[in-house]
Amino acid sequence: MPLKATSVRLDDETLQRIGQMAESMDRPRAWLMAHAIKQYVEREEWFIREVEKGIKAAEEGRLVDHADVKAKWEAKRADQVD
């Protein structure tokens, strides 16, 4: 897939930090920024899908009681302490 150029405005400090990261990774700054944007978009799309699934479940009445969720997490935390 051909890549398209775009521009983004960043403050000096952020741009410097990106440059340092890119240098330490032996990658071009543009590669690092494209990689970061791609990861961000993937995470946000996942989050939106999960929220939509939750809304649908709630509308269908598929809910879990707060006390049940709390008990599950307390049990999980107790297992980690042991």
CA distance 17 to 68: 45
∠ CA 28-30-35, rounded to 5°: 100
Coil/strand/helix, residue 59: helix
Does the pLDDT of residue 3 top 80, yes or no? Answer: yes
pLDDT (0 to 100) of residue 82: 64
Domain boundaries, the chain: 12-81
pLDDT tens digit sequence for 6-64: 999 999 999 999 999 999 999 999 999 999 999 999 999 999 999 999 999 999 999 99
DSSP code for 60: T
Q: Taking the complete model, does pTM exceed 0.75, yes or no?
A: no
CA 33 to chain centre: 15
